[in-house]
Structures are given as structure tokens and as C-alpha cells.
Amino acid sequence: ENRPIPEPGHNEVLLRMHSVGICGSDVHYWQHGRIGDFVVKDPMVLGHEASGTVVKVGSGVTHLKPGDRVAIEPGVPREEDEFCKNGRYNLSPTIFFCATPPDDGNLCRYYKHSASYCYKLPDNVTFEEGALIEPLSVGIHACKRAGVSLGSKVFVSGSGPIGLVNVIVAKMMGAAAVIVTDLSAPRLQKAKEVGADFTIQVKNETPQEVASKVENVLGCMPEITVECTGVQACIQAGIYATRSGGTIVLVGLGPDMVTVPIVNAAVREVDIRGIFRYCNTWPVAIALLASKRINIKPLVTHRFPLEKALEAFETTKRGEGVKVMLKCDPTDQSP
């Protein structure tokens, strides 16, 4: 609250923030001060799932003007390196990313950002939907990396927010059947609400037993598995479950070192792919939302004003609901 309002640079815009979602990584930084090699050494503003209103534009900005409603892509390349040149700017080692040390996020009243990574929202797309484009982008990128297409049979491991967006996107991309596993019955119910065809509540089964259940319920082994938990046993189950010649995409992040049945994957030609965030997804997501081809509104289950940020973070930490959204604009009267 005491920070001065920043001035936008030549190619930047100043935004009055509206909606900011809380991500599991935000909670992890808050609780543990690090994620892998990213260590919080100084005070850091959290938040990277965001939308807001343009207040001021830099002298070089021509595609946006004050009053425009925008969604913010949090990753901005700092240099035109080889990864940017071939369209995979998310892999640039020097990329700026909101709320990844030492870069501040946008959970604040006013925030400045590269204008090229702010995307104008159509009138029929809400601020909340704009903020949800960030997690939705993970699903778009993961399903593209997995090669989901017409008729695909897809296994999504985990039905937290990222698992749910993968269900939504996989169905949108033509998946004939999507099966979801999770420990939580309420989360599996939410997966059914957003389009999952089958769900399995996992208890204390072995990875091989989970894989067998997936095959029995689905009626076949899935060609594609999207693993969204990062848990070792779930990764193992995903490899065992995936049809020979298929693909498993690792989305969830867990320990640095994980034991997996690599020979099983190798001799069956199961491709193991990773993803790192996303790239080139905001225009796709906005087009899908504007055309009403997908509905991500049910993901938001809790809303708090910025003044109750601690309560919002505690709610996320307890695993309540699905997506917790903070409202940063005190003049906003929307429900």
C-alpha cells in the first residue's frame, strides 16, 4: 500500500489491477521461501494470474489506451535470444516472470508491465476469466505438447486447478474420453462438472493398480497422460497407464529426483515430455473465451478483497475449493 505508483517505460503500460488468482506456487513461496533453485532473498510481491485496466501507456505503445481491460501474460523475455527467435520464449533463461524471485508479481493496486504481454479483453470476457487465462494456458500448452487431437483417450492425473484446465482443454481439442484420478471426491466431482467422462478416487493402490483401474474404467489404455501432481507414485502410475507408443506430459512439479519405471517406458516407446509454463497461448485462450467455446468460470470458488489477502492465502493453503481470486480494485462492485 505504501509503494509509489510506478511510471510506465517506453513500451510499458501502467495498470490498475482488478483480479488476481492465487496459485500453489504463490503459497509455496509464502510458506517455504523457495521453489527449487528460485530462492526468495528479499521481500517479493506475489501474484501472476492477473487482469486489470490500463491507466497510462508509455510513449511507444500504440495498441492499448487508458481504459482498456487486459489480461497479463506474466513471462516477458528480457532479450531476443535463440529461444525467442524460434517461438519458445518461455525457455529463455533470462525471462522475467511475475512472482518468481527476484521479480515482483502483480498482487497490488497498481502494476506496470510490458505492453506486448498485455492482451485486450473483449467486452464479453470478464476480468476473472482474464485472470484465469494464466492457468488455462498451462492446459493449452500441455495438451499441445501431448498431441491431443480428435478421438484421443486422455488420462489426467490430479484434479486441482491445473488438472481441471487440462480436462477442459483436452475436451475442447477433440478428446473422445477423459478420465481423471485424485484423492479428493469433491475435486473429482468438479472434474465431472467441467467435462471429465470418468473419475477414479485413488486411495492406497499401487501405481500398477491405479494404471489397471484406469484401463478397466476407460475400456482401453489412454494414448495420452497428463500428470498434474508431481507425486512420484502418480508419475509411475501415469507411465504404466499410457498405451505403448503414447505420450505422458509431466506438468506437476515435485522433488528434484524421482524414481520412475524408465525401462517400461523405453521398451514400450512411451514418450515422456515436460512443459515449462506456456508460450503463445493468450490469443488462443481469449478467442476460446470470447466465442464461449469453453467455460472456466466454475473454477473460481472463493473471492476476497485485497485487504483480506492473508485469509485468501490461508484458504488456498487448506486446499478449500478450487481457485481463490483476490479483488484488487476497491471501486469494483461486481459480485
Confidence of residue 1 (pLDDT cuts 50, 70, 90): low
DSSP H stretches of helix in 147-280: 161-172, 185-193, 207-218, 232-241, 262-267
pLDDT at 334: 56
pTM of the predicted structure, to 2 decimals: 0.95
Confidence of residue 331 (pLDDT cuts 50, 70, 90): confident
Q: How far is CA 58 from CA 54, 55, 121, in A?
A: 11, 10, 19
| 48 burial level (CB within 10 Å; 0-12, 13-18, 19+) | buried
Q: Pairing state of beta strands 198-201 and 110-114?
A: unpaired
Q: pLDDT tens digits, residue range 319-330?
A: 998 999 999 987
What is d(CA 129, CA 298) in angstroms, rounded to the nearest whole number? 10
Q: So what CATH class is 139-274?
A: alpha beta
Q: Which fold has domain 12-120+296-327?
A: Quinone Oxidoreductase; Chain A, domain 1 (3.90.180)
CA 299 to chain centre: 12
In this structure, which amino acid lies at residue 205?
E
Q: pLDDT tens digits, residue range 103-128?
A: 999 999 999 999 999 999 999 999 99
Q: Which residues pair with 155 in a beta bridge?
A: 179, 225
Q: pLDDT tens digits, residue range 4-33?
A: 899 999 999 999 999 999 999 999 999 999
* Mean model confidence pLDDT for the chain: 96
What is d(CA 230, CA 254) in angstroms, rounded to the nearest whole number? 4
Q: How far is CA 236 from CA 172, 225, 239, 240, 245, in A?
A: 27, 11, 5, 6, 16
- For the segment 210-227, the average pLDDT, to the nearest whole number, is 98
Of the candidates 306, 284, 315, the residue with the CA atom closest to the CA atom of residue 16 = 306
Domain definitions of the chain by residue range: 12-120+296-327, 139-274
Is 214 a residue whose pLDDT tops 80?
yes
Q: pLDDT tens digits, residue range 35-92?
A: 888 999 999 999 999 999 999 999 999 999 999 999 999 999 999 999 999 999 999 9
C-alpha cell at 245: 507408443
Q: pLDDT tens digits, residue range 242-301?
A: 999 999 999 998 988 999 999 999 999 999 999 999 999 999 999 999 999 999 999 999
| Cα angle, residue 54 at apex, residues 50 and 58 outer, rounded to 5° | 115
The answer to whether domain 12-120+296-327 and domain 139-274 are alike in fold is no
- For the segment 183-201, the average pLDDT, to the nearest whole number, is 97
